[in-house]
Structure 1
Amino acid sequence: MAGKPEFRPTVLLNVIERKPEVENSRPPVVFLHGLYGRARNLGFFQRRIAEKRRTLAIDLRNHGDSPHGPGDYPAMAQDVAETIIAHHAMPAAIIGHSMGGKVAMLLAVEHPELVSSLVIGDMAPARTGHGQGKLALDLLQLKFPKRLDRANANNLLSTVVESQQVRDLLLQNIRLGDDPGWTMGLQEIAESIVNIENWPYVPEGHVYDGPVLFIRGENSPYVSEKHFDIMKKLFPNHQLETMRKVGHWLHAEDPETFSSFLTTFLDAY
């Protein structure tokens, strides 16, 4: 029927779990990576937090070892909800960077009972494009040879990706050796990129009033003054910290400062 929304089936996601030797009653901590990432990207922070708290790092749909399918934020947030329920990990402190931050924010306003607190890395609840759509299309056009090693894969990516930091991220999503290819659902990501760059409609009155920490990069365009009103509306109990001399990949550019903000906030909640 014309105008009927496309069905987005929920999927259970791949999880990497770490926990302390002696478990405690503190809420577990869930890590959500950004676009083209995967759970193990946040392993440095997960290992640190896991010394005191149970932790789960999740591969979002179309990423890592999770299933592939049509992507939008309501579906991705529901995936995470079903996954943390299945792992008896609620309510949880949710840590999300970039796309994972949007998933975390929507999860919190739609299912506040599942979320004890939020940390959002360089993302606002708003439309944020900044060239990701073009990158997805450029990556789809790459032609893999019959055999590929890491060095040649890096050279291949350099034809469309200038930043070595971004290439390092993408290299984790390439199957090397014979019959190389993408392990992530790149076709599904490209087809969903308009949704990923956007922010879904949130009904009036849907807010998350638990503790929230936004951490932005000083040199990044993703969180600016034009976003402050919607951040306050949806997350009235939030605080904002700015990391100096870093951009969108703030946790990779200055992991010690990001870790300090993260652990201080989590210790308080």
Structure 2
Amino acid sequence: MFPNLLKTVTFMGRHVIGRSLSSGNQLVPLELSFNVYDMVQSASHGSPVLVLHGLFGSKYNWNSLSKAFHQKTKPTRKIYSIDARNHGDSPHSEVHSYDHMVTDLVELHRKLNIKKASVIGHSMGGRAMMLLALKYPQLVDRAIIVDISPTTGLGTSNTDIPLFLQSMQLIQIGADQTIHQARKIADEQLAKIIDAKPLRDFLITNLVKSESDGSFRWRINLDALEQNFTTGVARFPDCSAMQYTGPTLFIAGGRSDYIKKSDIPTIKRLFPNSEIKVVEGAGHWVHSEKSAEFAKLVLDFLNA
């Protein structure tokens, strides 16, 4: 079934494979939504690339870069840009941890009949990809980790994430508003606690209008993310007994503190075949703030 499906998908085709939900703390996989980029016809293909966004993000944040990666990898690689659980078009669940996210990714490998893939993950998605490589190294060809480290805690710029989640829950918008009006209302209310307009704009990309009754909702599961933030997002599992020896590239923003000098020994212990590149002038969202520099680093690494 899946080999045939992969041969017939169109460029940037959108897929949702199932809607199963997990319950309790059991590691029950969710079947994730993703976009696939597979337009370039080539006689030779490298292993596919799985891309996973960070907290509050979605697969659409990686649209332009995924196109570029697909078109410029040599040999050509199919790119899958994925929505994490409790984000985008993927199912919601009351549980959210890196172990759960890895279970989802392993299920995606199985469903798509992917034997081995290169992986790219930003922030929360980077930690999920790190844990995937550490727990299931046979599934990962090479790893690119964007502005996050395998240590507990997050950079200082995101210390108020629980407050962001609580504030988003308090926003109320009438169904008679247009999406443009609703986003303006949300921006005005979020501005009371978040000074940075780019950050507010990023959060508001998750506001959507229901086609059935016109009501507004958040695509992300605010309740689950708030309840699981401390243990499921801010804390990386203890992986001291694990190691991924495949090629690994860490890309850090020069203005970000999500990868600290004190993290380097841990990075080198868990990922001995790793290198760290710093993109000067970029903050935490390296891939959007310095997209050209970021894309070159990724392509050089994938094409090596």
TM-score bracket for this pair, using the shorter chain length:
over 0.9
Moved more, 134-143 or 232-241: 134-143
Deviation by residue 1:111-135 (Cα, 9 ceiling, x = unmatched): 0111000001100001123312222
Alignment correspondent of 1:122: 147
Report the AA paired with residue 202 of structure 1. Answer: C
1:142 and 2:162 equivalent?
A: no
CA contact (8 A) 1:20 1:53 kept: no
Aligned to 1:162: 195
Does residue 175 (structure 1) correspond to residue 199 (structure 2)? The answer is no
In 2, distance between residues paired with 1:252 and 1:165? 11
TM-score normalised by L of structure 1: 0.92
Report the TM-score, using the length of structure 2 for normalisation: 0.82
Does 2:279 align with 1:240? no
Counterpart CA distance in 2 for 1:134 and 1:207 is 35
Instruction: Give unpaired runs (5+ residues) of structure 1.
Output: none
Measured after TM superposition, the shift of residue 202 of structure 1 is 1.8
Counterpart of 2:299 in structure 1 is 263
Where does residue 237 of structure 2 map in the other structure? 200
Instruction: Tell me the number of residue pairs that the alignment of Structure 1 and Structure 2 aligns.
Output: 263
**Aligned twin of 1:21:** 40
RMSD: 1.6
- Equivalent AA in structure 1 for residue 96 of structure 2: G
1:136-171, Cα deviation, whole Å (9 max, x unpaired):
222223233334433333333323332222222222
> Percent same amino acid at aligned positions?
28
Q: Where does structure 2 lack aligned partners over 5 or more consecutive residues? A: 1-23
CA–CA separation in structure 2 for the residues paired with 1:40 and 1:20: 17
Aligned counterparts of 1:60 and 1:168: Cα–Cα separation in 2: 20
* One of 19, 26, 41 as aligned partner of 1:7: 26
Structure 1 residues 79-88 or 177-186, which shifts more? 177-186
| Further displaced range: 164-173 or 78-87 | 164-173
The Cα of 1:199 is off from its aligned counterpart by 0.5
Question: Which residue does 1:218 correspond to in 2?
Answer: 254
Quickly say closer, same or farther: Cα 1:125–1:109, change in 2 above 3 A: same
- Using the alignment, how far apart are the partners of 1:65 and 1:84 within structure 2? 18
Which position in structure 2 is the counterpart of 1:83?
Answer: 108
Q: Secondary structure at the match of 1:96?
A: strand
Per-residue displacement from partner, 1:173-225 (whole Å, max 9, x unpaired)? Answer: 11137311112111111111112011112251x11000000000111110011
Give the secondary structure class of the aligned counterpart of 2:200: helix
What CA distance in whole angstroms lies between the structure 2 residues aligned with 1:198 and 1:216? 19
Any conservation in 2 of the 1:26–1:53 contact (CA below 8 Å)? yes
